[in-house]
Structure 1
Amino acid sequence: MRTSMRLKLKQWSWIVLAWTCMGIVFSVYDHLLLKTENAAGVAADYSFKVLLVKNMAAGLIASLLGGTLMVFYVNNKLQDRAYAYTLLVVAFSFVLIVAIISALMGLVLVPMQTGVAITSDEGQDAFISFMKDPSHVKAGIAWFFVVSVTQLFLQISHKFGPENFWNILRGKYNLPKEEKKIFMFLDINSSTSIAEQLGDKAYHSLLKDFFADLTVPILNNKGSIYQYVGDEVIISWKYDEGIENDHCVKCFFDMKSRLEENKEKYMHKYGLVPSFKAGIHCGEVIGGEVGIIKRDITYSGNVLNTTSRILAKCGEFREEILASSELLAALKFPGTYISRSLGSIQLRGKNQQVILNSLVPANNPN
């Protein structure tokens, strides 16, 4: 299963679990409210078990319908729309979902409570009374806040990236932490001339399409988007995940294939198909949270500076991808890629020399 789909299923699973648990919370709250001193008391046929099953079923049905809509449609198909627009779509859909859930609950509970068929006159009158019950309005208000908070969390997760968002929540980087990671610095070829050719607005639109098309190959190869810097994107991997199945190298060629698949879109909109180059390196970095007004997780260390300089060498050697020998020594390359050493090179601003290697697919060495 692709990582991008796995992330969506993980988000959806959390929504199903959280909303079902909210059904338990609402049941306990209602039960305790009925036991307060000022409460009018409970009905003769009141049962906490029935209330619990009812609210948990409502939460489960809501999560299956609403969670699917939010994860697989609103935050996927409408990702280029304004946040306010997605909130309106969710709110409107929520009204429909509440109505559907109330009707489904009525179709099940009314016959159980009255002992008559829902199709009978008495059953229909009881169903209408059930739908007019103020408890549905109360539940609607409560679930409105649940849905709003869920959508907010999904948008924040997309803003920071799912992994970074979770790391910030659990305070993983409150204190600086040393990690071994792989970094890829990637930028568009001839970006200055393209920007002059297209103009600022069209060039920004191209960057938006370009980065969007790269996202799925990055996720599918277990990468994380660390930063966007102008026309450059910095991708990172946990060391073991980047080495596994040569993900850090495969990602580059998967991104090339993705752009090739969408070349007609680029030609139609911009009259050109962007190409790119990349440098890859690995090593120890220090990661930690920085900032007060705006918090973020940043990495620092020699690895980032070296990777940036490796990227700069791509133009000099007329290569689309360069990797350090330190990284290649850990990769397997089972007949998938061919590497060619360019020798020891003194990178600008660095004391030690770095051995650079070019990479090409074995099935297309040219």
Structure 2
Amino acid sequence: MPVFSRRARLQFRQLAAIIVSWFCIGMLVALYDHQVLHTRNALGTAPGYKLAASILLNAGIGLFGALTGGSLLVFYVNVKYRDRSYGYTIASVTICFLLIILLISIVLGLLGMGDLHRLIKNGVVWAAVVAITQMMLQVNSKFGYGIFWDLIRGKYNTPKQERRIFMFLDINASTTIAEELGDRRYHAFLKDFFSDITNPILNNKGEIYQYVGDEVVIAWRYGAEEENSQCIRCFFDIKEHIQSLGDKYLSLYGFVPTFKAGIHCGEVVAGEVGIIKRDITYSGDVLNTTARIQGMCKQYNEEVIASAELLAALGTLSNYVSQVLGSIRLRGKEKETLLIALKPMS
């Protein structure tokens, strides 16, 4: 197992981006102040003022703020307050940072360690930087790691053909569960379940494509055989993790959830859709086939079924036992698909 989970590595990547951004903003603030001090209406620079020292000071403030405040945002606020609204976290974080910065600015001004008005101005600037940073983190969380930046860069403005692996994972007996729990508790159950399976998905380099009712669609980019096989390991890692949380689910809902999955691979077209709400979607026969394969799990009483096409792309799977179910013409399709059930070696 890696020392850090993939979610932790993604968080450190976010922190690194904040550090670089805030460091650069600190230098820009110093350069802006330098230009203002040399305008016609300015009173000039204070004795001992040096541009290099000002840049170092402001860049240092940006670096220190990123290491402390950025860490607070990434590792605490956006973890502990995931259930709060985006507006609440943005407003509360901004107000707290603004008060702290203004307090420090006032103290430094009273001690004669800087111009009070300029310090307050910098405080307001950094509060705005914090607000924008938190908003970007929240938006990135909503779209999914990396997807938001793909939208910003316009990567999928023109549809692109990609080879992908898909898993459709569906909770067993969801209709019965919904009737027994009622709407509110069922929603809470889905929220817990989707939250609990996130780390196993990320640790196996999966991308959560979408949630559809009680189903989650997970995608993988094509890579080496070992990387491709993570789609199989992902299912059993999720199963193991949910079983380890059995006491939690029993106490909250009276049962431990089970689930089934279909896995397939192939060419899809990826591109942006929508006007009011824009998103990146995948289209192609592979998605329909994967959904059909997942639907066969109940008929064959299997928890995970993959296509022979996928297993051919994975190479040797030494840790799993495969059982050929036969060539089946899936509903709505003319071409037959060879289906294979998978189980971990005991």
* TM norm. shorter chain > 0.5: yes
Answer yes or no: is 1:197 the counterpart of 2:180. yes
CA distance in 2, matches of 1:193, 1:211: 18
CA contact (8 A) 2:105 2:123 kept: no
Summarize deviations over 1:3-23 as a string: whole Å, max 9, x none: 111100000000000000000
Report the counterpart of residue 12 of structure 1 in structure 2.
15
Distance 1:311 1:192 in 2: 17
Structure 1 residues 293-332: aligned runs within 5 Å: 293-332=276-315
| TM-score of the aligned structures, taking structure 1 as reference length | 0.89
2:327–2:338 contact (8 Å) kept in structure 1 = yes
**What CA distance in whole angstroms lies between the structure 2 residues aligned with 1:33 and 1:96?**
25
The code of the aligned residue for 2:53 comes to V
Displacement of 1:2 in angstroms is: 2.1
Structure 2 residue 32 is the aligned partner of structure 1 residue 35: no
Q: Distance between the aligned counterparts of 1:242 and 1:14, measured in 2? A: 31
Partner of 1:359, secondary structure, is strand
Out of 80, 83, 99, the residue aligned to residue 80 of structure 1 is 83
Q: Cα distance, 1:99 vs. partner?
A: 6.4
Residues 49 and 101 of structure 1: CA distance in aligned 2, closer, same or farther (over 3 Å): farther
Q: Cα RMSD between the aligned structures?
A: 1.9
Question: What amino acid is the match of 2:73?
Answer: M
Cα offsets for 1:95-125 (capped at 9, x unmatched): 465369769x96xxxxxxxxxxxxxxxxxxx
In 1: Cα distance, 2:103 partner to 2:239 partner: 45
Q: How many residues align?
A: 343
> Does the residue aligned with 1:178 lie in a helix, a strand or coil?
strand
Aligned-partner Cα distance in 2 for 1:161–1:69: 20
**C-alpha displacement of 1:240:** 1.2
In structure 2, the CA distance between the partners of 1:232 and 1:242, relative to structure 1 (3 Å rule), is: farther
1:23 aligns to 2:26 (yes or no): yes
Asked if 2 retains the 8 angstrom alpha-carbon contact of 1:11 and 1:71, the reply is yes
1:65 match: 68
State whether structure 2 residue 259 is matched by structure 1 residue 256. no
Structure 2 CA distance, aligned partners of 1:290 and 1:270?
A: 38
By how many angstroms is 1:44 displaced?
2.8
CA drift of 1:89 comes to: 3.7
Tell me which of 278, 285, 290 is aligned to 2:261: 278
2:324 partner SS: strand
Query: Residues 223 and 242 of structure 1 are in contact (CA less than 8 Å); yes or no, is this contact kept in structure 2?
Result: no
Given that 2:264 and 2:307 are in contact with CA atoms closer than 8 Å, whether structure 1 keeps it comes out as yes
Is the contact made by 2:105 and 2:116 (CA closer than 8 Å) also made in structure 1? Answer: no
- 1:339 is matched with 322
**Is 1:148 aligned with 2:151?**
no
Letter of the 1:284 partner, please give it: E
Choose from 207, 213, 226 the match for 1:224: 207
The answer to whether the 8 A contact 2:160-2:269 is kept is yes
Task: Say whether the 8 Å CA contact 2:272–2:280 is kept in structure 1.
Answer: yes
SS in 2 for 1:282: strand
For 2:39 and 2:271, locate their aligned partners in 1 and report how far apart those are by CA, in whole Å.
Answer: 48
Deviation at 1:128, TM superposition (A): 2.4
CA contact (8 A) 2:156 2:271 kept: yes
CA gap of 1:306–1:174, structure 2 versus 1, over 3 A, is same
TM-score w.r.t. structure 2 length?
0.94
Q: CA deviation at 1:343?
A: 0.9
SS at match of 1:174: coil
Separation of aligned partners in 2, 1:180 and 1:93: 46
Residue matched to 1:236: 219
Identity %: 51
Q: Does 1:214 align with 2:217?
A: no
- Once structures 1 and 2 are overlaid, which stretch shifts more, 28-37 or 142-151? 28-37
- How far does residue 273 in structure 1 lie from its aligned partner after superposition? 1.3
Are 1:284 and 1:303, in contact at CA under 8 Å, matched by a contact in 2? yes
8 A contact 2:325–2:340 mirrored in 1: yes
Q: 1:55 aligns with which of 32, 53, 58?
A: 58
Distance 1:100 1:343 in 2: 72
Q: Contact conserved, 1:246 with 1:333, CA < 8 A, in 2?
A: no
- Equivalents in 2 of 1:148, 1:181: separation in Å? 36
Aligned residues of 1:280 and 1:324 also touching (Cα < 8 A): yes
Q: Deviations over 1:284-329 (max 9, x none)?
A: 0000000010000001000000000000000000000000000111
1:165 aligns with 2:148: yes
Matched letter for residue 78 of structure 1 = Y
* Partner Cα separation in structure 1 for residue 67 and residue 324 of structure 2: 53
Larger Rg: 1
CA deviations on 1:150-176 (whole Å, 9 max, x unpaired) are 000000000000221111011110001
Q: Which runs of 4+ in 1 moved over 4 A?
A: 99-103
In 1: Cα distance, 2:203 partner to 2:19 partner: 24
Q: Aligned letter for 1:62?
A: G
Give structure 1 stretches of 5+ with no counterpart.
Answer: 107-125
2-side partners of 1:361 and 1:85: how far apart? 45
